[in-house]
Amino acid sequence: MSVPILLYHHIDEAPKRGTPARSIWVKPARFAGQMKVLKALGFQGLSLRQAIPYIKGEKKGKIAVITFDDGAMSVYQQAMPVLDRLGFTATCFFVAGYIGGGNDWDRPPRKTARLMGAAEMRDWAARGHEAGGHTLTHPHLPALPPVEAQKEIIDSKQRLEEIFGFPLLSFAYPYGEENPLMRNFVREAGYNYAVTTTRGQAGVTDDILALPRHSIRRNDSLMQFLLKCLFRKKG
Ligand SMILES: [Zn+2]
């Protein structure tokens, strides 16, 4: 069975024209519409952790995995109430060194968005949603000296687990950038699953430490959104 894993970042009004990466802001009403259509079509929205048996082919069902990278406050404020109303769960990947801060790790910086603090993160998990790791400082992992990349993966897991009080199972590579060494570091750190930004549906033949995702963009029409959910497309 092939399973769509959807990737979102910010669920908020878009920043002004010309802002880098403006396409990763999806309007709240549009996000809510997308989730409602999934529900109407009989999809169950699931966190990555809960979807693994479907991806491995051990369970059958019409599911879509919903993931958010970076831990934006807008995910807590705008996306979570929609998910909770529909009975969907999702995974949010947090940057351990920027908790309660802004997403200003890029050079030059993108538009800064507020990120969840520890209280919102714990509430996210308490409502049945999954928390995953997304490194300490959101670096380009394969470009770092290996020992530093490994530290980013291990230290962030420990720091996040101190906040949540339970082990994290899922990881997202910043910018989707990874290689076999990074997959090893992620596995050795104790993560069971990891996601990239390679396009396509996830299935039994995929490496569980490099699962593909469909990035949902600001301007995606409902038809484009549904095509990403319904059809296997690689590349
Ligand atoms: Zn990210």
| Span 95-113, pLDDT tens digits | 999 999 998 888 776 668 9
CA of 8 to the centre of ligand 1 (A): 10
Task: Examine the pLDDT at 178 and tell me if it is beyond 70.
Answer: yes
Compute the distance from residue 60 Cα to the ligand 1 centre, in Å: 30
Give residue 172 CA to ligand 1 midpoint distance, Å.
8
Cα–ligand 1 centroid distance for 134 (angstroms): 7
Per residue in 118-171, pLDDT (tens digit) is 999 999 999 999 999 999 999 999 999 999 999 999 999 999 999 999 999 999
pLDDT of residue 111: 65
The per-residue pLDDT for range 67-89, each reduced to its tens digit, is 999 999 999 999 999 999 999 99
Q: Rounded to the nearest whole angstrom, what is the distance from the C-alpha of residue 203 to the centroid of ligand 1?
A: 23
Residues 6+ positions from 197 with CB-CB distance below 8 Å = 7, 173, 175, 176, 212, 213, 215
Q: Where are the alpha helices (DSSP H) in 41-171?
A: 48-55, 73-74, 80-86, 118-126, 146-164
Residue 232 has what pLDDT?
A: 58
Q: What pLDDT does 107 receive? A: 74
d(CA 170, CA 92): 9
Residues 6 or more apart whose CB falls under 8 angstroms from that of 81 comprise none
Query: The CATH number of 5-230 is which of 3.20.20.370, 3.40.190.10, 3.40.50.10860, 3.40.50.450?
Result: 3.20.20.370
127 C-alpha vs ligand 1 centroid, how far in Å? Answer: 23
Tell me the pLDDT band of 229, cut-offs 50, 70 and 90.
Answer: confident
Whole-model pTM: value is 0.96
Q: How far, in Å, is the centroid of ligand 1 from the Cα of 93?
A: 8
Please give the pLDDT value at position 164: 98
- Band (235; pLDDT cuts 50, 70, 90): very low
For residue 231, the model assigns a pLDDT of: 75
Ligand 1 centroid distance, CA of 9 (Å): 8
Share of the chain above pLDDT 90, in %: 86
- pLDDT tier, 233 (very low <50, low <70, confident <90, very high otherwise): low
Domain boundaries, the chain: 5-230
Q: Residue 73 Cα, ligand 1 centroid: separation in angstroms? A: 14
Ligand 1 ion: Cβ-proximal residues, 5 Å cutoff: 69-70, 174
Residue 37: count other Cβ atoms within 10 Å of its Cβ. 14
Average pLDDT for the chain: 94
Beta-bridge partners for 115: 72
Gyration radius of the chain over CA positions = 16
